Structure 1
Amino acid sequence: MTIEKRGIAMPEPSFSRRSVLGGIGVGAFLAGMPGIALAKEMGTSFPGLTKIMNDYVAEKKVAGMQAVIGFGQAAPQVISAGTLALGGDKLVDSNTLWRLYSQTKPVTGMATMMLIEDGLISLDQPLSDIFPEFADMQVLLDPEGAIDNVEPAKLPITIRQLLTHTAGLGYTIISKGPIQKAYLAAGLSTGRASRSPLPGFDRGTPTPDIMTFMKRLSELPLVYQPGTQWSYSICHDVLSAVIEKVSGKPLDEFLQARMFGPLGMSNIGYHVPADQAHNLADNYAPFAGSLIPIDPGATSIFLDEPPFAFGATGLVGTASDYDRFLQMLLGFGTVDGVQVMKPETAKLGMSNLLPETANTKGTWIANHGFGAGGRSGLGTAASPTGTFGWGGAAGTSAFVDTVRGFRAGGYTQYFPSNRYPFQSDFPKYVYADLTGEAEVGAGNTSP
């Protein structure tokens, strides 16, 4: 295994919104992994993954790490390394809380699928049926150009497009030029990173309540024509508003009633109670061979209630709680006899829901499908059938493989997520151990 030597200066991390909150996919998701059948009862200690995690901690690239991997509906295996804070004495354990960031998106996506199952909305229903202010939207002629250089939208925004980032909406972590500035000025940025200013990270105007958020968003032009382009966006924050408007419950209450409560996910939510701050891992920025704390658990910004339950980036929870969500997906809506959605609903949510008209070339999901908030397999060597998952901005990664019958999540806390290959390569580490192809001591944890 090639380990970065201590004392070698690392380049200053870029705290752009894209690098801090947006570099969060699962990389080349399962690319090149053999399509073999894995026995659910197969026992493994995951030696390759364990070695990689221990090396990250030993080399002080991160303070702590955790992986949770399970077959079928069986209890998962948990691998932990390191501490919640660099140099601290509190070990990572089952109570450790992780900032999940965009691993929130599949949760919001499946909550939306529940409303579709209930018959309260439909997959191709226009958003304007629910929020009339989104009728007759305008679209930028140049995604980075003047916000008054527009043309009428040719199609309405739909629920399908919101689930798959094809609605044409912008994102302060992705968009450039005048539309990014307009989003920031309107408070249309829902990611939280630190109480302290971060270099190159414009906080913008404070985020308003959810209905004001929707009104302000409707008054700005779209970046792309709906249904034409995959572009990472605030779609899942819009879905938070859809869920609240249609169900009569804010997203956090809806999730508690329909998913978290029934599944026994008791340590996940949109803010960390003060009496649980001691369980929240510190978040760091790797810089010049050191780790700079940017959001210590004891004083974290996640101790505050957010303006609303962000559908895109807001959740904080234990790895075991998120594993319950993955277990539900693997069980096609059911865990331990408790059904929270029908099998056909779960399967649909994990399938490729992209509009046929959407271009994905050159994006994070090129040659992949995209379902209800996560990348989905297309049945190719690079995109195996039955795979579904997404990652988070602080280096986390989670997925299910419904064909081979297992689920896996990898957790740590560092910005930006592409500073190390852990997030992008986590699925490869898991598959390499399961197929017997991992070589303990082989691999590369260097940037």
Structure 2
Amino acid sequence: MIRDLQSLEAAMDRRMLLRLGACAGLGAALMPRLSLAAADPDLLPHVRTVIERWVGPGKFPGMVASLGIPGHDPQYVARGSEGFNDGDAVTADSLFRIYSMTKPVTGMAAMQLIDEGKLGLDQPLYEILPKYRDMMVQDTYDGSITELHPAPTPITIRQLLTHTSGIGYTIIQKGPIAKLMDEKGLIAGQVSRKEIPGLSRGKTVEGLDVFADRLAEVPLVADPGTRWSYSMGLDLMGRVIEVVSGKSFDAYLRETIFEPAGMTSTFFQVPPSDAKRLTTNYGAVKNVLVPIDPGETSIYLDPPPFPFGGAGLVSSPRDYDRFLRMLAQYGEIDGQRVLGELTVRTGTRDLLPPGLEIPELFGGNAGFGAGGRVGRGAEAGVYGWSGAAGTVGMVDMLHSLRSQIFVQFMPPNANDLLPEFQTALKADVMALLEKQ
């Protein structure tokens, strides 16, 4: 993925993005009023204004936002087209690269196995993947890869889910360890089939099993459980799920989450029959959008080297809202039990080892659950994550409220769109309350 474009997700101001759940401060007593207010024909006038201002020539070709209220279908605001050279209107069924919004999906899949007793939250990783028994750790974070010491404790499943395992990430690490990961093909994500300066990172290793084996050969960047460092832990979790379940990772997600939740538009590889719905992804270069992955020739039309559990999915706003709605309803949707209630309750709470919190750059003053940030204080109960191409999905677990924005550009902090959306979303929710 991209390091030169401000390291993409490392450069994203997660605190700004993930406050899309700013409605989290709403009291429980106000939620019945909010539900009644959902009868209003326009729930999102401020969001609508922001999107209309940002869509058009010289801006974005199109985008979609949504707000979901308990007991009601979500309201979508969609404007524009799926690309500057694609005349199809963007809709709630258009397909977007959601990148790291894949992580909560993988996290919940792992939590289901824990709920079923097939995996332990604090189980050592080496019991499933023996090559991780005797890991070595850099003496200095991002320093030498020869000055190492044995890991004092084993990596656990909890640590994989919460980015506290000490495993590195090619979009985060610098220096010799980054070079080593590149050389081993440990590039857990894809951007374009084109060779683009600053974007292309070499050839990704083929196969999730081979990925897991090679990653075990790379030193950890920190002792397990001692530091929050954005990692390939959720990609490795895909291999854990394969070994424990006896199914391929992509098949497990399809059978366990996508099909029972009615998510018919979420893929690691976009089928030819759905290719026409795929949007174009753009690189933001000095306020100019340059197409880096056109929908009609996208790399997501090809089989991926392996299913990236940390950044590999394409989904639609309608599909991902179903995932968030299922979580908001503690594992059920449309009368169908998808995940166990304990699975969801545990996965959406703070699972960080004692004394740790995520860095300021990634949200600060917050915990982390199964693949997603967990708010604290005024944001208590808000769970979710964002993606490297401008998508954000959040669910307020205390009030069953969910919000999203889907757009395609990298890096997503290249302009003020997302903070403007955040402000508009909060204004719309508060206005609904004031009407009652």
Instruction: Note whether the superposition's TM-score is higher than 0.5.
Output: yes
| Equivalent residue, structure 1, for 2:187 | 189
AA paired with 1:403?
L
- Separation of aligned partners in 1, 2:119 and 2:129: 13
Residues 272 and 23 from structure 1, CA distance in 2 versus in 1: closer, same or farther, beyond 3 angstroms?
farther
**1:68 offset after TM fit, Å?**
2.2
**1:206 offset after TM fit, Å?**
2.5
1:121-180, CA deviations, whole angstroms, 9 ceiling, x for partnerless residues?
Answer: 011001001011101211001112110100111111001001100000100100011100
- Separation of aligned partners in 1, 2:156 and 2:420: 33
**1:75 offset after TM fit, Å?**
1.1
- Separation of aligned partners in 1, 2:397 and 2:56: 34
**1:332 offset after TM fit, Å?**
0.6
1:42-98, CA deviations, whole angstroms, 9 ceiling, x for partnerless residues?
Answer: 234311111111111035321110012211242111110110111542111233101
Matches within 5 A, 1:58-77: 58=56, 60-77=58-75
Residues 15 and 165 from structure 1, CA distance in 2 versus in 1: closer, same or farther, beyond 3 angstroms?
closer
Q: Is the contact made by 2:138 and 2:148 (CA closer than 8 Å) also made in structure 1?
A: yes
| Equivalent residue, structure 1, for 2:25 | 35
Matches within 5 A, 1:96-107: 96-107=94-105
**1:27 offset after TM fit, Å?**
3.0
Q: Which of 46, 49, 52 is 2:47 aligned to?
A: 49
**1:350 offset after TM fit, Å?**
0.4
| Equivalent residue, structure 2, for 1:173 | 171
Matches within 5 A, 1:16-415: 16=4, 19-23=7-11, 26-28=14-16, 29-30=18-19, 35-36=25-26, 37-38=30-31, 39-43=34-38, 44-58=42-56, 60-358=58-356, 360-378=358-376, 380-381=377-378, 384-415=379-410
Residues 357 and 237 from structure 1, CA distance in 2 versus in 1: closer, same or farther, beyond 3 angstroms?
same
SS at match of 2:19: coil
Q: Is the contact made by 1:397 and 1:426 (CA closer than 8 Å) also made in structure 2?
A: no
- Separation of aligned partners in 2, 1:156 and 1:425: 43
| Equivalent residue, structure 1, for 2:425 | 430
AA paired with 1:19?
S
**1:255 offset after TM fit, Å?**
1.0
AA paired with 1:16?
D
SS at match of 2:319: helix
- Separation of aligned partners in 2, 1:131 and 1:92: 43
Q: Is the contact made by 2:97 and 2:313 (CA closer than 8 Å) also made in structure 1?
A: yes
- Separation of aligned partners in 1, 2:245 and 2:419: 36
**1:273 offset after TM fit, Å?**
1.4
- Separation of aligned partners in 2, 1:176 and 1:59: 37
SS at match of 2:260: helix
Q: Is the contact made by 1:399 and 1:407 (CA closer than 8 Å) also made in structure 2?
A: yes
SS at match of 1:84: strand
TM-score (norm 1): 0.90
- Separation of aligned partners in 2, 1:118 and 1:24: 35
AA paired with 2:15?
G
- Separation of aligned partners in 1, 2:218 and 2:235: 16
| Residue segments in structure 2 that go unaligned for 5+ positions in a row | none
SS at match of 1:269: coil
Q: Is the contact made by 1:109 and 1:236 (CA closer than 8 Å) also made in structure 2?
A: yes
Q: Is the contact made by 2:349 and 2:368 (CA closer than 8 Å) also made in structure 1?
A: yes
1:108-133, CA deviations, whole angstroms, 9 ceiling, x for partnerless residues?
Answer: 00000010011000110010010111
RMSD: 2.0
AA paired with 1:35?
G
SS at match of 1:232: coil
- Separation of aligned partners in 2, 1:189 and 1:88: 30
Residues 205 and 18 from structure 1, CA distance in 2 versus in 1: closer, same or farther, beyond 3 angstroms?
farther
AA paired with 2:181?
Y
AA paired with 1:408?
S
User: Which protein is richer in helix relative to its size?
Assistant: 2
Q: Is the contact made by 2:14 and 2:363 (CA closer than 8 Å) also made in structure 1?
A: no
Residues 174 and 329 from structure 1, CA distance in 2 versus in 1: closer, same or farther, beyond 3 angstroms?
same
1:248-306, CA deviations, whole angstroms, 9 ceiling, x for partnerless residues?
Answer: 11221011111111111111110111232211011111224432110000000001111
